[in-house]
Amino acid sequence: KEVELPPGVVNIVTGAGETGEALVKHPGVNKVAFTGSTEVGKSIRRSVAGTGKRLTLELGGKAANVVFEDAPLDQAIEGIVNGIYFNQGHVCCAGSRLLVQESIFEPLVDKLKERLQTLRLGDPLDKNTDVGAINSRQQLQKIEELVEAGIEEGAEIYQPECAIPERGFWFRPTLFTGVSQSHRIAREEIFGPVLSILTFRTPEEAVEKANNTPYGLSAGVWTEKGSRILWMTRRLRAGVVWANTYNRFDPSSPFGGYKESGFGREGGLHGLEPYLELVEANGGPRT
């Protein structure tokens, strides 16, 4: 009403999986756009198969944040922290894999650990909070299980000392070093405030490691060389590539991924097109 939309243009129906399933299968729905897990996205894709309904899926991710030795280090640290600890990691495009060029590995990790010591856990509605609560007990258990797997597989964990509220589900900001590509924490979407750090020597190795995932939603590149940014962007298999920033969203730009991160785009003209039907109106000559 405040923006003077006609009644019925926007309808909000709240509910869990059964509600979404009913909407997806309803014959009056011609276009479905879903943001959520890859597992549910695949289920929706099966449901609409053969119906002629248009579908946009924005699913999970395991984004790589790639930091080269010439990167602005302090700026990169803030981008790394924002990339993985924003919204306590409950973001499909979270930069949960950090690829660091070997020559700057130690100074970057030292700075990153110092920055983690300043992060505050607390009420997500409090503007002074950096890391809020985990959204459910089930999700917290999944995070704890994957972190335990990381320790068992030989990665080295770091968690800063910080005050944890008494009520709610909480997990301290966490990072792992000594991570290999075979570790579960480097392969599976954790959906929590957990960062896995790997190293690389050459741009080619960085691309190989960044693309070694079934997902393809987003990526970040940190370097002072514009030519290297363009070189990486052409080779990274991600729908969104941020350069010397992270989690920078523009509603006029298309957002989305491919592989198991889904297909189609949200935002901008590319996001609007699937909702439209192109009609040709062709008339005969005047008599």
Q: pLDDT tens digits, residue range 151-184?
A: 999 999 999 998 899 899 999 999 999 999 999 9
Domain-located, residue 285: no
Total residues belonging to the chain:
287
**Burial bucket for residue 25 (CB in 10 Å: 0-12, 13-18, 19+):** middle
149 domain-assigned:
yes
The C-alpha atoms of residue 200 and residue 206 are separated, in whole angstroms, by 6
H-run or E-run covering 85: helix 73-85
pLDDT tens-place string over residues 27-39: 999 999 999 999 9
Q: Which residues belong to the active site?
A: 58, 92
Q: What is the DSSP string of 125-147?
A: TSTT-SB---S-HHHHHHHHHHH
Its pTM stands at: 0.92
Q: Are residues 256 and 228 in the same domain?
A: no
Burial class (CB in 10 A: 0-12, 13-18, 19+), 72: middle
In a domain, 178, yes or no: yes
Whether residues 131 and 262 fall in one domain = no
Alpha carbons 24 and 26: distance in angstroms, whole number: 6
Q: Are residues 238 and 122 in the same domain?
A: yes
Residue 74: what pLDDT? 96
| Spans in the chain with pLDDT lower than 50 | none
Output the pLDDT for position 285. 86
3-state secondary structure of 197: strand
Shared domain check, 124 and 75:
yes
Please, what's the largest Cα pairwise distance for the chain?
Answer: 85
Compute, in degrees rounded to 10, the torsion defined by CA atoms 276, 280, 281, 287.
Answer: 170
Distance CA(233)–CA(229), nearest Å, equals: 6
How far is the C-alpha of 273 from the C-alpha of 265, rounded, in Å? 9
Q: Identify the domain containing residue 95 by its residue range.
A: 64-243
**Considering only CA atoms, which of 215, 160, 163, 157 is closest in space to residue 189?**
215
Regarding whether 38 and 153 lie in a shared domain, the answer is no
Q: Based on the fold, state whether residues 37 and 123 are members of the same structural domain.
A: no
Same domain, 88 and 186: yes
Q: Quick one: DSSP state of residue 216?
A: -
Domain count, the chain: 2
The reply to whether 146 and 120 lie within a common domain is: yes
Q: What is the DSSP letter of 34?
A: E
Query: 54-58 and 262-263: which strand pairing?
Result: antiparallel
Task: Indicate if 157 and 220 belong to the same structural domain.
Answer: yes
Exposure class string for 5-16: b at 16+ Cβ within 10 A, else e: eeeeeeeeeeee
Q: Please indicate, yes or no, whether residues 221 and 268 belong to a single structural domain of this protein.
A: no
Which string of DSSP letters, residue by residue, matches 234-245? HH---SEEEES-
CATH number of domain containing 97? 3.40.309.10
Running DSSP on this structure, what letter comes out for residue 155?
A: P
Q: Helices 17-25 & 38-48, crossing angle to 10 degrees?
A: 30
Alpha-carbon distance of 50 to 130, in angstroms, equals 45
